[in-house]
Amino acid sequence: MSEARAVQFRAFFALCERDLWVTIRHEPVSFLSQALLQPIFFLFVFGRVLPEIGAAGPRYGTTLLPGIMALTLVLTSLQNTALPLVIEFSFTKEIEDRLLAPLPTVWVGAQKMVIAALRGIVAAALILPLGELILPGGVHLDNMSWIGLIAIWLAGSIAGAAMGLLLGTAVPPNRISVAFAIVLTPLIFTGATFYPWQSLDHLPWFQVLTLFNPLTYVSEGSRAALTALPHLGTGWIALGLAVSLLVFGGLGLRGFVRRAVD
């Protein structure tokens, strides 16, 4: 590796080190509450309260858990790029010191994605023990595939971070709260989170609509990796994730460079 390359890699890892340091030393509570509070309530209300009062079947938790993991994975990754970028580009300008570090601008955007994805994976992993605690009868995993799960988590978290990168750099700061409302709510509820995709057979228009949501492939992928429940074909899952990664990764990084260099 040339000396110039070595400098760039060192800068990249130093930026990662700074982010991990801040997550662990300065803001573990805010990270965990931002990432986990919503899934905890989803698990509790949908997975415990609804079956208890007879509004959902007793095994609904098994269907729900992979969906909630996927939701946590994607949303945490998304929020961990989008929110900091909006704040750092517009208000605190903290990003400037990073943009002047000796590495290409596009690497700074990629680095943000890596850390956001890592945070998403940590949050999603914490859903398992939380599910064990919250769901009646705990977590039931059959037919679990570690390799499948790791692949889904890597692809899903990076896709989520890429969506956040696009959102955080494409939306003007004065519109960001509107943009979040418009993007997040449909994302949460059309992502096959609370229902397996195949059970939408009776609502074909909605079934088709959900295919445009990257979260659908992460939810279905998690279901495929963790349970024996019916799910979207693995080939389709892989294709959906690959397209999401390419489209959002490309647009997100391009948006970042445009925002960073006038």
Partner 1 sequence: MSLVDVHDLHKRYKPDAPEAVAGIDFSVSEGEIFGLLGPNGAGKTTTIGVITTRVKATSGHVVVDGVDVSKAPVAVKRRIAVVPQLSNLDRALTALENLTFHAAYFGASRGERRRQALELLDRFGLAERANDSVNDFSGGMAQRLMIARALMHDPRLLILDEPTTGLDPQSRLFLWETMLDLRNRGTTLILTTHDMAEADRLCHRIAIIDHGKIIALDTPRGLRRLLPAEAGIELVLETPTDPAGDFAGVGGVARLDTAEVEDGRWRVRLYGEGEALADEALAASRRDGASLVELKRIEGSLEDVFVHLTGREMR
Binding site for partner 1 (CB under 8 A): 4, 7-8, 10-11, 14-15, 17-18, 21-22, 26-27, 92-105, 260-262
Q: What angle, rounded to 10 degrees, do the helices at 60-90 and 176-189 form?
A: 160
Q: Which is nearer to partner 1, 50 or 83 (CB)?
A: 83
Q: Which is nearer to partner 1, 52 or 94 (CB)?
A: 94
Backbone angles phi, psi at 149, to 5 degrees: -65, -45
State the Cα–Cα distance between residues 88 and 25, nearest whole angstrom: 20
Nearest to 222 by CA among 152, 138, 158: 152
Nearest to 215 by CA among 80, 71, 60, 105: 71
Residues 6+ apart with CB under 8 A from 14: 101
Helices and strands: H and E segment counts in the chain: 11, 0
Residue 14 CB, shortest distance to partner 1, in Å, is: 4
CA angle 48, 33, 128 (to 5 degrees): 45
1's tokens: 């590796």
Residue 33 CB, shortest distance to partner 1, in Å, is: 16
Residue 3 CB, shortest distance to partner 1, in Å, is: 10
User: Looking only at Cα atoms, what is the longest distance across the chain?
Assistant: 65
Between the CA atoms of 129, 16, 169 and 190, what dihedral angle is there, to the nearest 10 degrees? -20
Residue 27 CB, shortest distance to partner 1, in Å, is: 7
Amino acid residing at 247: V
Q: Which is nearer to partner 1, 87 or 170 (CB)?
A: 87
Residue 194 CB, shortest distance to partner 1, in Å, is: 35
Q: Which is nearer to partner 1, 4 or 53 (CB)?
A: 4
Q: Which is nearer to partner 1, 7 or 238 (CB)?
A: 7
Residue 140 CB, shortest distance to partner 1, in Å, is: 40
Residue 115 CB, shortest distance to partner 1, in Å, is: 13
State the Cα–Cα distance between residues 45 and 28, nearest whole angstrom: 25
Q: Which is nearer to partner 1, 8 or 198 (CB)?
A: 8
Q: Which is nearer to partner 1, 30 or 143 (CB)?
A: 30
State the Cα–Cα distance between residues 192 and 68, nearest whole angstrom: 10
